[in-house]
């Protein structure tokens, strides 16, 4: 039976909270109540990460389930070097990027099922249009940034994960993470600028 090694959670590695370690241990022992608790506690976080990257896609619920299937299959490899939520973020980012790559290969266009929710009818139509365009530009721009820079950008700027936790998650020095964030932000800014200029040109 798998167990969370005490050696992995001591020394220079920050200990997880006892409650979290007990929850993980229960999951590893096949306790269904522990699995339900883990899902209920973290499914909102998973949904938020996916939504930030993909927007309100129609299959968001399915993607959340995909995340937790991966959690179920790989939880025994979680070493406690970072918070469980940080480890979960990484899985969410990978699932989201897989979704974007598949969509890109299929050359799918944004349709009604992927459109943002209906705006307040009292809102200025031009403002609503700009909001929708910004969401689409961001999603497209993110696909142009390669990992691990993209992961750093999403975790740090969109999910507000501290640099130190990202460094632990990626097994990289903090200066390396900061460098990846710097270049990812620069690439994102360029991609967004290009997308907006292209949109303005198409409207003329």
Residues 72-93: pLDDT tens digits?
A: 999 998 887 777 887 888 888 8
How long, in residues, is the chain? 204
pLDDT at residue 131, rounded to an integer: 53
Instruction: Read off φ and ψ for residue 172, nearest 5 degrees.
Output: -135, 150
pLDDT at residue 27, rounded to an integer: 93
Mean pLDDT of all residues in the chain?
Answer: 77
CA 149 from centre of chain: 13
Sequence ranges of the chain with CATH classification 1.10.10.10: 117-204
Highest mean pLDDT among 71-80, 96-105, 156-165: 71-80
Longest dimension (CA), the chain: 65
pLDDT at residue 52, rounded to an integer: 78
How far, in Å, are 62, 80, 181 from residue 178 at the CA level? 33, 23, 5
Decide: 23 and 99 in contact? Cβ < 8 Å.
no
Decide: 152 and 101 in contact? Cβ < 8 Å.
no
Q: What is the pTM of this model?
A: 0.57
Does residue 195 or residue 63 have the better pLDDT? 63
102 pLDDT more than 80: no
pLDDT digits over 27-37, tens only?
Answer: 999 999 999 99
Radius of gyration of the chain (CA): 19
Residue 200 CA to residue 103 CA, distance in Å, equals 24
User: What's the CATH number of domain 117-204, 2.40.50.140, 3.40.50.2300, 3.30.450.20, 1.10.10.10?
Assistant: 1.10.10.10
Sequence ranges of the chain with CATH classification 1.10.1740.10: 1-115
CATH architecture type of domain 1-115: Orthogonal Bundle (1.10)
Q: What is the mean pLDDT of residues 166-181?
A: 90
What confidence category does residue 151 fall into, taking pLDDT thresholds of 50, 70 and 90?
confident
DSSP state of 14: P
Does residue 26 or residue 123 have the better pLDDT? 26
pLDDT at residue 105, rounded to an integer: 63
Comparing 15-19, 60-64, 192-196, which segment has the lowest mean pLDDT?
15-19
pLDDT at residue 133, rounded to an integer: 61
Q: What is the mean pLDDT of residues 5-24?
A: 61
């Amino acid at each position: 039976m798998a167990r969370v090694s005490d050696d992995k959670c001591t020394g220079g590695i920050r200990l997880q909270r006892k409650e979290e370690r007990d929850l993980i241990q229960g999951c590893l022992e096949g306790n269904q109540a522990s699995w339900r608790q883990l899902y209920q506690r973290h499914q909102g976080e998973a949904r938020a990460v996916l939504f930030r990257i993909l927007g309100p896609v129609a299959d968001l619920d399915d993607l959340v389930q995909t995340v937790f299937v991966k959690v179920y299959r790989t939880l025994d490899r979680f070493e406690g070097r970072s918070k469980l939520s940080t480890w979960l973020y990484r899985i969410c980012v990978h699932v989201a990027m897989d979704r974007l790559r598949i969509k890109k290969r299929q050359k799918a266009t944004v349709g009604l099922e992927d459109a943002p929710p209906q705006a307040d009818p009292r809102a200025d139509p031009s403002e609503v249009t700009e909001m929708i365009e910004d969401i689409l530009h961001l999603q497209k721009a993110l696909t142009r940034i390669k990992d691990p820079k993209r992961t750093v950008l999403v975790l740090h700027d969109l999910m507000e994960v501290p640099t130190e936790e990202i460094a632990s998650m990626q097994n990289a020095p903090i200066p390396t993470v900061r460098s990846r964030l710097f270049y990812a932000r620069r690439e994102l800014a360029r991609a967004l600028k290009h997308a907006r200029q292209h949109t303005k040109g198409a409207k003329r």
